[in-house]
Structure 1
Amino acid sequence: MGNSPSALQQCIDAVGNGRSGFAGYPSNPLYQVQWVKPYNLDILVTPAVVVRPQTAADVSGIIKCATANNVKVQAKSGGHSYANYGVGGEDGAVAIDMVNFQQFSMDKLTWQATIGAGTRLGEVTKKLHDAGGRAIAHGVCPGVGIGGHATIGGLGPMSRMWGSCLDHVIEAEVVTADGKIQRASSTENTDLFWALKGAAAGFGVITEFVVRTHPEPPTIVQYSYTFTFGSQADMAPAYAAWQDLIADPKLDRRFGSMFIMYPLGAIITGTFYGTNAEYEASGIPARLPPTANKSVAVNDWLGSIVHDAENEGLYLSDISTPFYSKSLAFTKNNLIPSKSFGKLFQWVDQQDKGTLLWFIIFDASGGAVADTPMNGTAYAHRDKILYYQSYTIGLPLSSKTKDFVTNFHNQILAAAPPNTKGTYAGYVDPALKDGQQQYWGPNLPRLQTIKSKWDPRDVFHNPQSVRPAA
């Protein structure tokens, strides 16, 4: 005889009421492949169950089952958490896969869109375009789900112009720890709404968003400047010129850019939301480091998103792999000084990385992101103008490769001014011992107080989510 279903399984099966494809359990021989679908194959996580609800009422019932059995809950939209936090981040959670929440509508009087939390960014772009040529700010990896993206920050090439993705959210439907289906906005459940905009994984399961939208820019200039060097140290002057450009407080907000290091080379890539004549008139091309290998293309909105997605796919693949990553955020006052660039890049030259699949990405931020006060939402990095992120893949991932990434991060910290800390929670790093402080900084105490009100038992939990105040 087989094992009897647990009380949790019986409860969740009752919510599903016999529906096929509603819940998967570890006893399924294809559980990891068909249900869990981990993004980072270096971090093994086995949820107690993965559930695919179809309605907010389903989500409510699932949460009630979890609380009745004292089991933690996490929601997954696209499933791109670097530490697999969408399936709990550690064994034994109830993972709620929002794949069925694909609803979409557009109010053509207000141009506000309602978007289901399981919609991936590639579909968000298409649906907004088809509903009247509208757009919001978001990242460019098409497989990322809006449920996590629009609640953790949501940075992308248009963020300097329009702000982060979460800055577009004006209302959300959310199921809270008591199983109630709530609305949250600037006028209803305002404290919860504030927390959802930056730290939602610890506060509830969002089922849909209402977002403000913009008209699509008619013309977009996309550029790439490729550099081939004999050594990493040779790229220091190119990086210095780029960092000086993106640190300019008068930099045109229509400009977004990344500097990407990879074996024996680098690329400066990005986007200008305007015409080629406006791009030239901005003075930006003259300030980028010279190279014979450059391309400049003019696209419409959809073409630009496809182009960005193709570039992103070269460095941060949509395919599940074993990988390791570190990151850090910089204000204008704690950027790495130019005198340190040569030594930093020379250090990279001297290391045995253990793999050829490594990238170090420096990503410009600031602009419109900083128009919202630091305490305006739970997302706290309003003063940051630059993020760095390392990303390395190993098949398998060796300790040598992890050591390279960790030690590069230590080199960055040593080169930066004292007390440089903090990073974007979208680049989640499970190795951080003070992750909550690094992700939410001065907003953490308020988040902990709100958590105590809305989720005192810490139902919505991953290894680095917000905890209730003592």
Structure 2
Amino acid sequence: MSGNHGVIDETLLGGLRSSFRGRLVRPGEPDYGESRRIWNGSIDRRPALIAYCTGAPDVAAAVRFARASGLPVAVRSGGHSFSGQSLCDDGIVIDLSPMRRITVDAEARTVRAQAGVLLGELDQQTQRAGLAVPSGIVTHTGLAGLTLGGGIGWLMRKYGLTVDQLLAVTLVTADGGTVRADATENPELFWGVRGGGGNFGVVTEFEYRLHPVGPTVLAGPLIWPVADSARLLRFYRDWITEVPDELTTAVVHRKAPPLPEIPAALHGRRVAMVICCWAGDLDRGEQVLRPLRRFGPPVADLCRPKPFTEHQAMLDPSFPAGRWYYFKSCDVAELTDQVIDITAEHAARITSPLTSFPIFQLGGAIARVGEDETAVGGRQAGHTFNINGTCADAEGFEQERTWARGLWTALAPHHTGVYVNFLMEEGEQRVRQAYGEAKYLRLKALKRQWDPDNLFRLNQNIRPD
């Protein structure tokens, strides 16, 4: 699949148009500029064709067209890929965003969702029945990419990752066929898509298990000055060893944003936040959080009972589309004194008001799923760092990227792995690290079976050779 540098065979394109129900956008058309934008504004790529699919038949037609054309293929649902691999130069973007159907079965506690659904849309539908699929932390994230890489979010310690709720998928394969994968039908493929990303085909529909959640949770940040970071992290490290799985937390360092709910005196100051989400009995949650509230005490306490959907949208203003984002990530086994000191030191060097880095608390239900039950790696990690250097545009971006790399490098002696959804384009060795050698080789065998020509290679790629 060497590609043909974006030259489209008009005869093949005519064949695609004859069967394609969605919209096809090419360079030079009025909406091409907007159509090629993705969440990470630092990514600027120019595809030869963007195919907006209305359903699985459109996806299959687009895959067959791309294969016949020799064009590179990128697959886009929410367009939130950190590395921008949902967009390509001189190839075809198979865009799933029109595919937004959601079907909730409240009695069976299941939901079917097409691949263009965003997290907030799913939450709105499922919360009407007091149910939820554990998912991510920003509501305009695409459900498809999040799920296929694992799915870190505010309910993960109680119920597991998003992928742990998956009951079945329907996907279009590299030859343009359509298959179902679940525990009994194509079970090895089902194992692989639960963590292996888009390497084996284009998933067009997901079926999930639902869980009772809320609709009210005890959630929000408690905030301290960054000068308290090391002392806070040492307390936090000890405190979380005893907290129940109903509580998921993340420690975030950044400059406090100028939001109405944050005291004006904190705006622009470097701070350390512990963001909490308690999904259980609210009175019990207050008891669990009491030691954290008494530490310090915090300069601001915004943790309160609120609708789960409100908490899910809390970080949306901090991660809008179009900013320039650069990420480095790693898992660590625990917050040792050395990890804490490195963290505090680099947090004090944050310069951009848009840069931040959450440290997600893992464990709980994540670790109770067997390491080999899904392709997801790192289930025994204690925490995952998501180091995010951000600017509004190109100005200052190199400085933020250097800062992010510096923190990641300083933590290198403590790395135990990496969450695949947090990778940029970092090469095969980092992909292998995300899965571990045994699972990586199993995924390669699966890739040889389902995509031997590596048509689906614009991802955290598992090469078939």
Distance 1:58 1:346, change over 3 A: closer
Other structure's SS at 2:382 match: strand
Aligned match of 1:328: 330
The 8 Å contact of residues 219 and 298 in structure 1, kept in 2 or not, is answered as yes
Mapped partners of 2:313, 2:134: distance in 1: 14
Aligned match of 1:451: 447
Mapped partners of 1:142, 1:103: distance in 2: 17
2:424 is the alignment partner of 1:429 = yes
Other structure's SS at 2:63 match: helix
Mapped partners of 1:160, 1:44: distance in 2: 36
The 8 Å contact of residues 154 and 249 in structure 2, kept in 1 or not, is answered as yes
Find 2:301's aligned residue among 274, 294, 305: 294
Aligned match of 1:122: 120
Other structure's SS at 1:178 match: coil
Other structure's SS at 2:195 match: helix
2:173 is the alignment partner of 1:188 = no
Distance 1:436 1:261, change over 3 A: same
State the Cα deviation string for residues 295-326 of structure 1 (Å, max 9, x = none): 33113xxx22213312x1244x1322112111
Larger mean CA deviation between 132-141 and 449-458 belongs to 132-141
Aligned match of 2:262: none
Aligned match of 1:239: 233
Mapped partners of 1:385, 1:255: distance in 2: 14
The 8 Å contact of residues 16 and 58 in structure 1, kept in 2 or not, is answered as no
Find 1:376's aligned residue among 363, 373, 377: 373
Correspondence 1:57-76 to 2 at 5 A: 57-76=57-76
Distance 1:323 1:172, change over 3 A: same
Other structure's SS at 1:87 match: coil
Mapped partners of 1:113, 1:9: distance in 2: 40
Larger mean CA deviation between 14-23 and 166-175 belongs to 14-23
Other structure's SS at 1:253 match: coil
The 8 Å contact of residues 12 and 62 in structure 1, kept in 2 or not, is answered as no
The 8 Å contact of residues 26 and 49 in structure 1, kept in 2 or not, is answered as yes
The 8 Å contact of residues 73 and 456 in structure 2, kept in 1 or not, is answered as yes
Mapped partners of 1:368, 1:151: distance in 2: 18
Find 1:101's aligned residue among 86, 92, 99: 99
Amino acid aligned to 2:448: S
The 8 Å contact of residues 130 and 215 in structure 2, kept in 1 or not, is answered as no
Mapped partners of 2:311, 2:322: distance in 1: 22
Distance 1:400 1:185, change over 3 A: same
Correspondence 1:57-456 to 2 at 5 A: 57-88=57-88, 91-130=89-128, 132-229=129-226, 231=227, 234-246=228-240, 248=241, 250-263=242-255, 264-282=270-288, 284-287=289-292, 289-292=295-298, 293-299=300-306, 303-310=307-314, 312-315=315-318, 317-331=319-333, 335-339=334-338, 341-342=340-341, 344-349=343-348, 351=349, 355-394=352-391, 395-396=393-394, 397-414=396-413, 416=414, 420-432=415-427, 434-442=429-437, 443-456=439-452
The 8 Å contact of residues 195 and 376 in structure 2, kept in 1 or not, is answered as yes
Other structure's SS at 2:326 match: strand
Other structure's SS at 1:199 match: coil
Mapped partners of 2:176, 2:461: distance in 1: 19
Other structure's SS at 1:244 match: helix
State the Cα deviation string for residues 203-230 of structure 1 (Å, max 9, x = none): 111111111112233542114211124x
Mapped partners of 1:51, 1:190: distance in 2: 30
Other structure's SS at 2:233 match: helix
**TM-score of the aligned structures, taking structure 2 as reference length:** 0.88
Amino acid aligned to 2:340: F
Distance 1:66 1:223, change over 3 A: closer
The 8 Å contact of residues 197 and 460 in structure 2, kept in 1 or not, is answered as no
Q: CA deviation at 1:21?
A: 6.0
Aligned match of 2:27: 26
Amino acid aligned to 1:306: E
The 8 Å contact of residues 115 and 204 in structure 2, kept in 1 or not, is answered as yes
The 8 Å contact of residues 8 and 66 in structure 1, kept in 2 or not, is answered as no
Structure 2 gaps of 5+ residues are 1-5, 256-269
Q: CA deviation at 1:19?
A: 6.9
Amino acid aligned to 1:41: G
Mapped partners of 2:329, 2:77: distance in 1: 23
Structure 1 gaps of 5+ residues are none
Mapped partners of 1:451, 1:157: distance in 2: 32
- Identity across the alignment (%): 22
**TM-score of the aligned structures, taking structure 1 as reference length:** 0.87
Amino acid aligned to 1:154: G
Amino acid aligned to 2:304: A
Mapped partners of 1:411, 1:450: distance in 2: 36
State the Cα deviation string for residues 411-461 of structure 1 (Å, max 9, x = none): 1224x2xxx242112112224562311222231110000000000000111
Q: CA deviation at 1:171?
A: 0.7
Mapped partners of 1:253, 1:15: distance in 2: 50
Amino acid aligned to 1:408: L
The 8 Å contact of residues 139 and 316 in structure 2, kept in 1 or not, is answered as no
State the Cα deviation string for residues 92-113 of structure 1 (Å, max 9, x = none): 3321111121122233552221
Question: How many residue pairs are counted as aligned between the two chains?
Answer: 441
Q: CA deviation at 1:136?
A: 1.2
Mapped partners of 1:210, 1:21: distance in 2: 24
Mapped partners of 1:123, 1:381: distance in 2: 29
Mapped partners of 1:216, 1:341: distance in 2: 33
